[in-house]
Amino acid sequence: DIQMTQSPPSLSASAGDRVTITCRASQGISNYVAWYQQKPGKVPNLLIYGASTLQSGVSSRFSGGGSGTDFTLTISSLQPEDVATYYCQNYVSAPRTFGQGTKVEI
């Protein structure tokens, strides 16, 4: 099974900061990575698929990158409404494992 290792587990930043979350796959998965945002008490929401394709309706503050084993999610200018836990997921094959999550606070 492919393991997805996210870092950091949590971070605190100021509004307006640039924030980057990383996700490392235990083996190459091309660009089959998605990123999800889960606000406190809410249902997860798809942000990015194909490592870098922004889901329709998602703020352009969010961007994704990487290929192979190393991937990033970047928030260009952190806003209060971005407080959430962020998860990466591999979907190249079953099991479609998630990373452990990164809790982002302001």
Partner 1 sequence: QVQLVQSGSELKKPGASVKVSCRASGYPFTTYAINWVRQAPGQGLEWMGWINTNTGTPTYAQGFTGRFVFFLDSSVSTAYLQISSLKAEDTAIYYCVRGGHHGDYLFAWGQGTLVTVSS
Cβ atoms 106, 11 nearer than 8 A:
no
Among 11, 24, 44, 74, binds partner 1 (CB under 8 A): 44
Q: How far is the CB of 105 from partner 1 (least distance, A)?
A: 16
Which one of the spans 10-18, 30-38, 61-69, 72-80 is the region binding partner 1 (CB under 8 A)?
A: 30-38
**The 3-state secondary structure of 39-52, one letter per residue:** CCCCCCEEEEECCC
Residue type, 24: R
Site for partner 1 in 46-65 (CB under 8 A): 46, 49-50, 53
